[in-house]
A = this chain, B = another copy of it.
């Protein structure tokens, strides 16, 4: 096997100059039909593939955007990723993806690594980056989008919704339905989960009638199984009094629902359940589960569009974009 063909090899085969081959690949319009065809044939014949590193170095355009998500296993970020990938395609960009496992320190390292790829834009999840990470990002001069939640002082651009407000609203929903002994089931306890919990507490505190709350949280990562365990825990803590639970996500809610069957509790008569994120299963289980929906796919798409329209040097303050959320009321409440 000879070494990989380069521009000059193609040029030789096609009988043109190297720069013409380069133009055929990046600006076909600038080349006459005749040469273009000749070059394209040569490219296909010898299986030439452009060296991205050299191209990026010479053009100062890497053609990649960097994305960091807190977890690959959480299906929520999958939806966002799909939006990102779908939006990226027409721009002919590649995505470099990092998983920071919910750790700002790991995220900081990842940011440094990914910045070395000279991305043309950066998409981050959440707003709790370390100080040094923010410095690196700002210094890079590229457009940046912080995703999922809203921030008072975004690094650059920001798109998401208020998890606090959503927490308040869903709790009020339970209160309006007449439930008075509310449990909060929380796993992982990342910033967004904490905001939902804060909303839960605020709604309870502001409620005009007497009511009770039980908060059960763990830093373990979320799973369906854990939802069942947390339901057990909250029933124990409330001595069986708890009549409604707000689960910080739909996995926990599903697990809690399955657990109610084993505990012989009727939903929503004995206990109401609501989740967060509105996964497909929540609508299809029996009884279906009330949840909070948000446009995750669209958030991902919009993040890419924001990056593409931003100049990067534009240091004006851009107001956060609130994509909102929607409480989907179902049989479980």
Contacts and interface: CB of A to CB of B under 8 A. Distances in A.
B53 A57 contact: yes
Interface stretch (A135-143, A167-175, A203-211): A135-143
Q: Is the interface of A mostly helix, strand, loop or mixed?
A: helix
A117 interface: yes
A73 B77 CA distance: 10
Interface stretch (A91-99, A153-161, A241-249, A321-329): A91-99
Interface string A270-296: 000000000011001110000000000
Interface in A1-31: 1, 4
A49 B116 contact: yes
Contacts of A53: 52-54, 56-57, 62, 117-118
A51 B118 CA distance: 7
Contacts of A254: 281, 284
Listed from nearest, the 7 A-B pairs whose CB atoms lie closest are A53-B56, A53-B57, A52-B116, A53-B53, A52-B117, A49-B115, A72-B82
Interface residues of A, number: 53
B136 A49 contact: yes
Interface in A220-256: 223-225, 228, 254-255
A1 B221 CA distance: 41
Contacts of A54: 53, 57
